[in-house]
Structure 1
C-alpha cells in the first residue's frame, strides 16, 4: 500500500466515522470507500478533492488531491467517464 493510502487510512481512523458516514461525506458508495481505504482503487478527482477538503484541519496535514497522482486506478479513469 502506498504512503498516500496509508495516510488516508490513518485519517479515516482518526475521524471515528463509519464507512457509511464517510461515503455520505464523500458522496460515493461505501464500496468505493472500502476499495480506496484498502488500496485497491485510487479516488478520482472529485473524491480526491473531497478527501482534501475533509482532511484540511487534520493534525498530520491535508491529504491533497494531487497526492493521488500516479496512484494505480486514479483520477484519469473518472476524467474519461465525464
Structure 2
C-alpha cells in the first residue's frame, strides 16, 4: 500500500503592493489570503485555457525525445540555428 505524503506548502513571494491587494481582497471577501490566491489562479487559468493548450501543443511538437529537441526547448533556438552552430550529437 502506497503512503502519500502531504504536499508541502511553499510561500508565494509577491511585491508589497500585490500583497496589500491580496490582503484587502481577502478581508473584503471573507477569505483567507491563501484561499483568495487559490481561487484567483484557478479562475485566471480557466480564462486562459486556450493559451495554455496552445503552449502545451507547441511544447509537445518540439519534444520528440531527441537531444536536439531538448536543446530547442531549453534555448528557444530553431533546428536550423542549432545546425548552423555545429548541431547536437544525437
The structure with more radius of gyration:
2
TM-score range, shorter chain: under 0.3
How does the TM-score come out when normalised to structure 2? Answer: 0.23
**Higher relative contact order at CA 8 Å, sep ≥6: structure 1 or structure 2?**
1
